[in-house]
Amino acid sequence: MDPTPVVGARYMSSWWRSVQPAPKDPILGVTEAFLADPDPDKINVGVGAYRDDNGKPVVLECVREAERRIAGNSNMEYLPMGGSVNMVEETLKLAYGENSELIKDRRIAAVQALSGTGACRLLADFQKRFCPESQIYIPVPTWSNHHNIWRDAQVPQKTYHYYHPESKGLDFAAMIDDIKNAPNGSFFLLHACAHNPTGVDPTLEQWKEISHHIKVKGHFPFFDMAYQGFASGDPERDAKSIRIFLEDGHHIGIAQSYAKNMGLYGQRVGCLSVLCEDEKQAVAVKSQLQQLARPMYSNPPVHGALIVSTILGDPDLKKLWLKEVKVMADRIIGMRTALRGNLEKLGSPLSWQHITNQIGMFCYSGMTPEQVDRLTNEFHIYMTRNGRISMAGVTTGNVEYLANAIHQVTKSA
């Protein structure tokens, strides 16, 4: 054996010299900065993870109970590529309806996915492979990672009007125009409820019109539903947009996540479903979705799926879950009221009714990046620079401080 070490010019330098430092993720980078701040009054209203009124993360009671039942009993074998059949079945009921004919007729191709992100990415890869000529239309604004997902899937993206800055509501007319002007058969990304980051949702009447125009153009409606139950407190109510589309006969796709509504964030549990014409097509589509999952992670993680199916499969645990989801949603609605109330009490010259008009975890405050920077630098308040406030980070303990800070940076606006 020749012990001579190999040394050469090529060998001396790194392959990665030219790799640039990547920009920080605009959302996740906020929490990093927050954690690094030693100030005692600091507030994190950045990332959308629920906090209780003490500002603490919450593990739902139903989840704790499910975990007690699971510990020691799971054999940790590989799930099938499509994930837990049990968990997927229960998840479809939430989105499509407990007694949905579509489920009974087995028309839905569905696989367990890595939370909402993973579900969107699978759909994007699927779109690229099977509808390579199509484009995805993404609302402005949207969760920033949506752009990354379709870009990495190499699907061309366009945007459609959504948020109306002047009214801090929906730019409905422009949105309809964009739907009409998009080439037939485009893919439209819709937030089923609690739009992220604006909190602005269409009314039911508006949803009906959106559905109509999408149908006329033969577009593919893809719903990202990350907040079912979390928006109004009632999962059935939060799924109304989807049900409208189903009544209209669309063959939709849905990305569902349990990150927020079951507090399973780090477990990465979600589901991608695609409604097909019939069972045969659903079987084919599901097999193709699995072909995309296999070279990404082979099969999805079992633990989170077990938690979900344990809870949803037990009527008492499910009842407990529904109660706990309502508590979370109600607390957020309460904080919206409190924040708006405080700002009005401070005599802010601006209108803050959008705080209570908007729904879900986020409030699109309307603040500029410069104002956000001031909030961070002067008041140690952390949020994304688009002015999005995660209401889950607001508590009875910090709402006055927050309101005052917002007032300070906006009063001369």
Query: 290 exposed, middle or buried (CB, 10 Å; 0-12, 13-18, 19+)?
Result: middle
Cα dihedral sign for 351, 353, 358, 361?
positive
What is residue 227's DSSP assignment?
-
What stretches of 99-193 adopt beta strand conformation (E)? 108-113, 136-140, 157-161, 163-164, 169-170, 187-191
| Binding status of residue 14 toward another protein by CB under 8 A | yes
| Binding status of residue 221 toward another protein by CB under 8 A | no
Count other Cβ atoms within 10 Å, centred on residue 281: 15
CB of 254 within 8 A of CB of 95? yes
Least distance CB 350 / another protein (angstroms): 33
> Given candidates 162, 188, 220, 364, which one binds another protein under the rule CB under 8 A?
220
Least distance CB 37 / another protein (angstroms): 17
Q: Which is nearer to another protein, 17 or 315 (CB)?
A: 17
| Binding status of residue 6 toward another protein by CB under 8 A | yes
| Binding status of residue 304 toward another protein by CB under 8 A | yes
> Given candidates 196, 232, 261, 267, which one binds another protein under the rule CB under 8 A?
267
Helices (H), 153-301: 172-181, 204-217, 235-238, 240-247, 279-297
Query: What number of H helices and E strands is found in the chain?
Result: 17, 13
Q: Which is nearer to another protein, 168 or 260 (CB)?
A: 260
- As beta bridge partners, residue 136 has 157, 187
Q: Which residues of 222-243 are buried (b: 16+ CB within 10 A; e: fewer)?
A: bbbbbbbbbbbbebeebbbbbb
- What does the DSSP assignment read for 39-95? -TT-EE--S---B-TTS-B---HHHHHHHHHHTTT---PPPPTT--HHHHHHHHHHH
Count other Cβ atoms within 10 Å, centred on residue 167: 12
| Binding status of residue 317 toward another protein by CB under 8 A | no
From residue 279 to residue 298, what is the string marking binding to another protein with x (rule CB under 8 A)?
--x-xxx-xx-xxx-xxxxx
Cα separation, 286 vs 102, in Å, equals: 15
| Binding status of residue 104 toward another protein by CB under 8 A | no
Scan for tokens 């959504």, then name that residue: 162
> Given candidates 86, 148, 348, 368, which one binds another protein under the rule CB under 8 A?
148
> Given candidates 30, 190, 246, 259, which one binds another protein under the rule CB under 8 A?
259
Cα separation, 63 vs 308, in Å, equals: 8
Q: Which is nearer to another protein, 269 or 403 (CB)?
A: 269
Integer angstrom CA distances of residue 290 from 115, 126, 287, 381 = 16, 10, 5, 43
Least distance CB 323 / another protein (angstroms): 19
Cα dihedral sign for 213, 218, 219, 220?
positive
From residue 183 to residue 212, what is the string marking binding to another protein with x (rule CB under 8 A)?
--x---------------------------
| Binding status of residue 173 toward another protein by CB under 8 A | no
| Binding status of residue 36 toward another protein by CB under 8 A | no
> Given candidates 57, 132, 165, 369, which one binds another protein under the rule CB under 8 A?
57
Q: Which is nearer to another protein, 213 or 215 (CB)?
A: 215
Least distance CB 336 / another protein (angstroms): 23
Give the range of 11-19, 232-240, 331-339, 380-388 binding another protein by CB under 8 A: 11-19
Enumerate residues 64-93 that contact another protein by CB under 8 A. 67-68, 71-72, 74-81
| Binding status of residue 357 toward another protein by CB under 8 A | no
> Given candidates 106, 151, 319, 323, which one binds another protein under the rule CB under 8 A?
151
Query: Catalytic amino acids?
Result: 143, 224, 260
Enumerate residues 106-145 that contact another protein by CB under 8 A. 114-115, 117-118, 121, 130-131, 134, 145
| Binding status of residue 349 toward another protein by CB under 8 A | no
Enumerate residues 377-396 that contact another protein by CB under 8 A. none
| Binding status of residue 8 toward another protein by CB under 8 A | yes
| Beta strands 108-113; 270-275: pairing state | antiparallel
Least distance CB 64 / another protein (angstroms): 8
Q: At what angle do helices 315-345 and 61-70 cross, to 10 degrees?
A: 150
Total residues in contact with another protein, by rule CB under 8 A: 89
| Binding status of residue 21 toward another protein by CB under 8 A | yes
Q: Which is nearer to another protein, 96 or 379 (CB)?
A: 96
Query: 219 exposed, middle or buried (CB, 10 Å; 0-12, 13-18, 19+)?
Result: buried
